[in-house]
Amino acid sequence: MKNIKLRIVYLILCSALLLFALFMLAVNLTIPAHFVREAKKALISEAQYQNRTIPYTDDESFFDDEWNDAEEHFLTPSIVFLELDNANQSSGWNRDAYRLEKKLLEYCKGRDLSLNQCYTFKTDRHHLIFMSVQEEQDDWEKPYAYIMYIDIGPITRYIVTLNWAFFAVLLAISSVMCLLGFRFGRDIEKEAERQQTFFQNASHELKTPLMAIQGYAEGIQAGVMDAGGAAEVILAESDRMTELVEELLDISKIDMGRQRLALSETDIRELLYDGIRAVEPTAASSIAIVPDFPEEPIIVKCDDVQLRRAVTNILSNGLRYARSELRLTCRTDKRHVTIRIQDDGDGIAEEDLPHIFDRFYMGRSGKSGIGLALTKEIVHLHRGTIRAYNGDSGAVFEISIPVSR
């Protein structure tokens, strides 16, 4: 999973270059060839029209009908007529047209051009498709010869502009896509690294009680340890490992979006009392757990099992650092319920505060785990917030959840 962000960027750039190459191929070959064919069709159609046989008639409306009935190609208005016998007369009205037609006449001079056949003449700025046409006159008149041409040079110049415009648009889009791809790849790398760290830490956490169980079991087998005392340690480490496995499974379900809350209306005070009763057996005799709840019921729609677990995790954590008192308060403002757990210990080191809810984070105390990380996820599932800070004396954990969801 290393350098995946660079691979994504390379893939985007290669795709953009391939797309630009295909566009260049399609536009620079297909469009000019198409207009060359259409210009030839227009010239042939006009030559046929010019060489048609017109019967003698005094009816002037005949010529109007003949002109209107003729099928006109869309490039017909672009046809320019140039006399071959008058090389000094230009059909254009500007200097550029005069020079172009002079070059065209010089190109035609000395060449055996077949009548009614299309030819190509190119300059730096012009691309002419032309045809030599000769109209038969009366017996006593010399045939009238001229050239018809269509300049598709503006179209080819427009294609160059179109290439640059498409390149600019593609470059802008590719830049944005590369930036998004880089960020996406970076997120994938971070997630992969986080998962790898998670599995390494989980293996380490599971290995610790397993080694303790193995060591005491081998001591019993060798007869060097008291069986009763060793069995108590083995049972305690087994409970610890079971709890850790359950926490790992729960946080994995949350990560995969499979954790569903069984919501019910609960008096939050009773839930907090249950949490106190759950941790009281593990509290030292010198530490008092002091509840501070209002007399009126506080009804909250929550998953009482999961929320009780979150509160219990914080209470257990507080008991490890409290000196004499662990205070648990609960207040409501009709929209949110605020649960505050405060110990009278030394507080949380400032460098540890930003990471206190990180999984397996090992702070200054040297202890790690996922209890607080799981607590944070459970609170978030209830659309609540949790924060930790240092109070006047000791650490404070504050949970806020909406009264109704």
Assess whether pLDDT exceeds 90 at residue 340: yes
DSSP strand pairing (264-267 vs 118-122): unpaired
Contact 317, 376 (CB under 8 A): no
| Dist. CA 107–CA 16, nearest whole Å | 43
Q: What are phi and psi of 133, to 5 degrees?
A: -125, 145
Residues 175-210 pLDDT 10s: 888 888 888 888 887 777 777 766 766 676 677 677
Confidence of residue 62 (pLDDT cuts 50, 70, 90): very low
Name the token pair of 361.
């984070």
All residues at 6 or more sequence positions from 345 whose CB lies less than 8 Å from its CB, including other chains: 318, 321, 322, 323, 394, 395
Name the token pair of 271.
């839930």
Assess whether pLDDT exceeds 90 at residue 399: yes
- Degrees to nearest 5, angle at CA 155 with 152 and 158: 155
Per-residue pLDDT, averaged over 103-128, amounts to 84
- From start to end of 97-198, where are the E strands? 118-122, 127-135, 144-151
Q: CATH 3.30.565.10 in the chain, residues?
A: 264-402
| Dist. CA 74–CA 42, nearest whole Å | 8
**Crossing angle for the helix pair 304-321 and 371-381, to the nearest 10 degrees:** 140
**Crossing angle for the helix pair 371-381 and 227-255, to the nearest 10 degrees:** 40
Rg (CA), the chain: 45
Name the token pair of 384.
């609540």
Q: What is the DSSP string of 298-340?
A: -EEEE-HHHHHHHHHHHHHHHHHH-SSEEEEEEEE-SSEEEEE
Average pLDDT of the chain is 80
Give the CA count within 13 Å in the CB-facing half-sphere of 107. 17
Greater confidence (196 vs 139) lies with 196
- The count of other CB atoms within 10 Å of the CB of residue 339 is 27
pTM over 0.85: no
CATH number for the domain whose boundaries are 264-402: 3.30.565.10
| Dist. CA 226–CA 359, nearest whole Å | 36
What's the length of the chain?
A: 405
Confidence of residue 386 (pLDDT cuts 50, 70, 90): very high
